[in-house]
Amino acid sequence: MKKPTILIVPGRGDSAAGHWQSILELTLAGALRVRQDDWNTPSLAAWSKAIDRAVRALDHRPLLVAHSFGCLAAAHAEIALGTPVGATLFVAPADPERFGLSPQAFERKLEGPGILVASNNDPWMPIASARKIAADWGVRFLDMGASGHINIASGHGPWPLGEELITAMRDDLEEAQASLPRRSRARRSPRQSSLAQP
């Protein structure tokens, strides 16, 4: 069985060539990027639909690797569209209120397991809010300390910890999917891995 696909889900502006998402897209086999029609005007509905289309085009549940507004769109795809995600790494999610969105719209446990990585000096999301949204989604919370928005501006071009997390989550997802009957792999949720426990 081939390894689960990694779907890169950038935030506003897409991820530039030196961004850790773009580096990992080029270095990790089987990584693809979700495409948006307008990277400069985030739309929760449009972006979530693009994620849903990308996921449903696959024959298995992928690992999403989301950043900033991409985290909100990825979570919303699961919540509102039932997007069949295998697991998600949420990195430096943006505060919904910064985009005129109600935080209450995101207060729901996600079906797939995940990890939310946040920084205590991220200008786009207070650490307390990041911790709460991780609890609402039922995913593990990882405090990165003073790491800014975990992007190029904060020194996160190459990001070894991110690659380590993605590799471990992908291995867990591969093991979980291998244990399912073949016809169920695209529809059923994998078991919670030890890595992805809240």
Global pTM value? 0.89
| pLDDT at residue 134 is higher than 90 | yes
What one-letter code names the amino acid at 122?
D
> Are 74 and 52 within 8 A, CB to CB?
no
pLDDT tens digits, residue range 11-33?
999 998 999 999 999 999 989 99
Q: Tell me which fold the domain 6-184 belongs to.
A: Rossmann fold (3.40.50)
Q: Which residues is 88 bridged to in the sheet?
A: 64, 114
Tokens representing 131? 């911790």
Determine whether 152 is exposed, middle or buried from the number of CB atoms within 10 Å of its CB (0-12, 13-18, 19+): middle
Is the four-CA dihedral 31, 172, 144, 9 of positive or negative sign? positive
